[in-house]
Amino acid sequence: DYEVPNKGTKTFDVLKYCQMHHIDLFANAKKEMYGNFASYSTTVVFENKPVRTIVQSTRAYHGYQFRTLSIDELKRLQTFPDDFVLTGNFDKKWQRIGRSVPPIMYEAVGLKIKESLDEYYAR
């Protein structure tokens, strides 16, 4: 359930460089490596570091292994419960996660709305 970069590709080289230097964005690593800046949002996720926003077009690689994150890992990063079911193939599941609003954010927004309504009706 994850993608492994081919050792003969630039992706593998950039991922290896990111992992060696703890760089979380491919674009920044490519700038250091090749002197050119890429605008894509491929990210590397490291333990104990904030994670960049996961969007449907993002590829997120593991910080210590040569692979993309699994769907279960992505669900956890986005605060979905482990038993939350996504349908479709790997790419469709990834897209759905990337287009979603994390449940913890929904909760915070909902609580703020409730607080505002409570204040309004308490007057």
4-10, Cβ contacts within 8 angstroms, sequence gap of 24 or more:
4/66, 4/67, 4/68, 5/61, 5/66, 5/67
Percentages helix, strand, coil for the chain, rounded to the nearest 5?
Answer: 45, 5, 45
pLDDT of residue 38: 72
pLDDT of residue 5: 86
Residue with tokens 């309504």: 117
pLDDT above 90 coverage of the chain, percent: 70
Q: Please state the rounded mean pLDDT for residues 30-38.
A: 86
Q: Per-residue pLDDT for 64 more than 90?
A: yes
pLDDT of residue 39: 63
Confidence of residue 93 (pLDDT cuts 50, 70, 90): very high
In tens, the pLDDT along 13-30 reads 999 999 999 999 999 999
